[in-house]
Structure 1
Amino acid sequence: MRVGSTGLWGRTLSNLSFPPTRAVGHGAAWYRRDCHVHSVHSDGELTPEELAVRGRAAGLDFLATTEHNSAAESGAWGHLAADDFLIILGEEVTTKTGHWLALGIKPGEVIDWNHQVRDGLIDQCLDQVHQVGGLCVAAHPHAPYPSGDFMFPFRGFDVVEVWNGLWTSDRPWNADNEAALAEWGRNLAADIHTGSWRPAMGNSDTHLEGQIGIPHTVVFAEELNTEAILAAIRAGRSWIAESADVDVTLTANADGHVAGVGEQLTTYGGQVEVQAAVRGVPAGTVSFHTDRGKVHRASLPGDGAGVVQWNTTAKESMFVRIEVRHPNRDVAALTNPIILV
């Protein structure tokens, strides 16, 4: 379904204020973002104004509005964008056999949600998003409610939301997220081998007060604009944090050649030094994961700031990624992989 010159409920698009696709004056940098939030215009309790204020307070540089099955009120966000705060238009497509996010769709555009696995319409809907340069995200694959379990194949989707904050209550991590992370991790080696791997994403799925930014994804983009952000997410140039208090840097170095998260490092068969620098996880642990599973684990000091190193080769490890966990085993941060060749 597409909305033309008039929006849903008869509101004309010319009367709505849609956010610009670029935040002026912000170049290549790491940006914090939450791409799954709901306002009073679907089933959230906060207004767009309240979400923008709380998003800024949570340390976010941008967010995506993803109302359920509707873009009718996207125009309510236009006046909230600023030179240092980007807003991306999106939709949570709430189907009968799983939910997914359409990010970067056009003003007033609505993706049809009246489909399910058995009718074979998913590819057509994904194509609609891709044709406008948008991103398709498999949302909360193991959500604990009817239609929340994701039954579609991941083929055709760009990203998997392995960490969703809606049902985590007073903790930022739960068993449903653990299952989603494990599923994504198990498939990663085969997907990288075939050149079709899907990056991991984390979002708050905000509906209530106190949820925004818990968790969120930190993205390295060439500019703070919609096109650059979506390209960076699609490429996996990102990692997930439970809050802005957590900071992670992961690099791999082979004879002076350095790569970061989401990048590929040519090693020429030599040794690779992988280094993880972490802040904000007191007495936590850092674990390194490759196509052989968990291969190394180290503890962080009591103040939560530390650097952990581990050596490997491309022959031993197709890729490397890390998970940072609290002493109670809840995840505090995780990265997408660095690919070694």
Structure 2
Amino acid sequence: MRGSTLSIPGFPPVRARGRGAGWYRGDCHVHSVHSDGELTPGELAHRARTAGLDFIATTEHNAAAAPGVWEQPAGDDLLIVLGEEVTTKTGHWLALGIEPGQVVDWNHQADDGLIDECTDQVHGVGGLCVAAHPHAPYPSGDFMFPLQSFDAVEVWNGLWNSDRPWNADNEATLAEWGRSLAADIRAGAWRSAVGNSDTHLEGQIGVPHTVVFAEELSTRAILAGLRAGRCWIAGSREVDVSFTAAVDGRGAGVGERLSTHGRQVGVRAEIRGVPSGAVSFHTDRGMVHGGSVPAGGAGVVEWHTSVRDSAFVRLEVRRADGHVVALTNPVILV
């Protein structure tokens, strides 16, 4: 995979300065003037920095990033992941971490049996395949492919309501993904949830974005964190969440497994940057615990469970009007 070692002249570096192992904020669904967006790559990079992002992915429709377009905007403080929005007649998907000049075939649809061949083009170079906006309200927006070929699901897409970036389409995707988790975790092949802005216009980038734990700020490490589900979704840079489960002094975070040995598990959510709203914990039994966001927008909500009652636990944080401002992938209990 190119992202592991090599940078190629004319294309953005595969590694940025970063902070070593830690949490990085990024938006993996971005369009520029080179497909149907209104901003140049330079303008997008500037706005990404202003939005507090550490990385973005360039995902033009059915096209590779052209040589010389993204190299200079990347700099050494912003990682640019090469990608493509594969726009088919029966759904769109994101190919992330592809090679310079690589174009993934988009001439396929749900009933022709070609989807695995196409996702193999991405997996073959170490890339990631993401089901994009599965319930988007336009022709070809509904995602009709089986999810087994995909690594992640874009449960939160911000495009259609920039001033109110949570809508019924996102709600439907979140519910669908949430219902599938129990069976997928038992099968050992669950797909992580991600959130992206699907930026086309001014003011959209980073709303929402995905916060990923990675060993470094590189294409390889970011994709590994997304693939493992070591990530959560934030509605803005102001929102910060820490979500963990612990037993006998041992803890695990989002995307990780916690061996409980049948003992009681303490679940803890630390929340900052949400002035008012509600916190809810979800397991394979649905929503099991709820509370209010602490006064002042910062504080801790705790709960207890066991592996007998919960195969996993995940977190949602919503405003008073019900719109999501943060949600996490699950901590898996075994």
Indicate whether the TM-score tops 0.5. Answer: yes
**In 2, are the aligned partners of 1:287 and 1:295 still within 8 Å (CA)?**
yes
Deviations 1:167-195 (A, max 9, x none): 11310200000000000000000000100
Shift of 1:50: 0.3
Which of 228, 231, 239 aligns to 2:221? It is: 228
**In 2, are the aligned partners of 1:74 and 1:89 still within 8 Å (CA)?**
no
TM-score by length of 1: 0.94
Which of 159, 171, 177 aligns to 2:164? It is: 171
Deviations 1:86-131 (A, max 9, x none): 0000000000100000000000000011110111111100001000
1:99 matched to 2:101: no
Structure 1 residues 74, 189: closer, same or farther in 2, change over 3 A? farther
Which of 47, 51, 54 aligns to 2:40? It is: 47
Mapping 1:234-313, distance limit 5 Å: 234-313=227-306
Aligned residue pairs total 327
Paired position in structure 1 for 2:177: 184
Write the letter of the residue equivalent to 1:197. W
Paired position in structure 2 for 1:339: 332
Tell me whether 232-241 or 166-175 shows the greater mean CA deviation: 166-175
**In 1, are the aligned partners of 2:58 and 2:65 still within 8 Å (CA)?**
no
Tell me whether 279-288 or 86-95 shows the greater mean CA deviation: 279-288
**In 1, are the aligned partners of 2:162 and 2:203 still within 8 Å (CA)?**
no
Distance 2:83 2:121 in 1: 13
Distance 2:27 2:296 in 1: 27
Write the letter of the residue equivalent to 2:211. V
**In 2, are the aligned partners of 1:203 and 1:213 still within 8 Å (CA)?**
yes
1:119 matched to 2:117: no
1:26 matched to 2:22: no
Task: Give me the CA root mean square deviation.
Answer: 1.1
Which of 31, 47, 63 aligns to 2:56? It is: 63
Shift of 1:166: 0.4
Structure 1 residues 193, 74: closer, same or farther in 2, change over 3 A? farther
TM-score by length of 2: 0.96
Paired position in structure 1 for 2:135: 142
Tell me whether 118-127 or 209-218 shows the greater mean CA deviation: 118-127
SS at match of 1:63: strand
Paired position in structure 2 for 1:196: 189
Paired position in structure 2 for 1:160: 153
Shift of 1:74: 5.6
Write the letter of the residue equivalent to 2:119. L
Write the letter of the residue equivalent to 2:234. A
Alignment gaps of 5+ in structure 1: 1-13
Write the letter of the residue equivalent to 1:169. S
Shift of 1:75: 3.6
**In 2, are the aligned partners of 1:65 and 1:74 still within 8 Å (CA)?**
no
Paired position in structure 1 for 2:10: 17
**In 1, are the aligned partners of 2:155 and 2:173 still within 8 Å (CA)?**
yes
Shift of 1:302: 3.6
Alignment gaps of 5+ in structure 2: 1-7
Same amino acid, percent of matched pairs? 73
**In 2, are the aligned partners of 1:218 and 1:240 still within 8 Å (CA)?**
yes
Distance 1:73 1:206 in 2: 19
**In 1, are the aligned partners of 2:209 and 2:236 still within 8 Å (CA)?**
yes
Deviations 1:239-278 (A, max 9, x none): 0000001000001110000101110000111010000000
Paired position in structure 2 for 1:3: none
**In 1, are the aligned partners of 2:129 and 2:152 still within 8 Å (CA)?**
yes
Shift of 1:160: 0.3
Paired position in structure 2 for 1:330: 323
Shift of 1:73: 2.4
SS at match of 1:327: coil
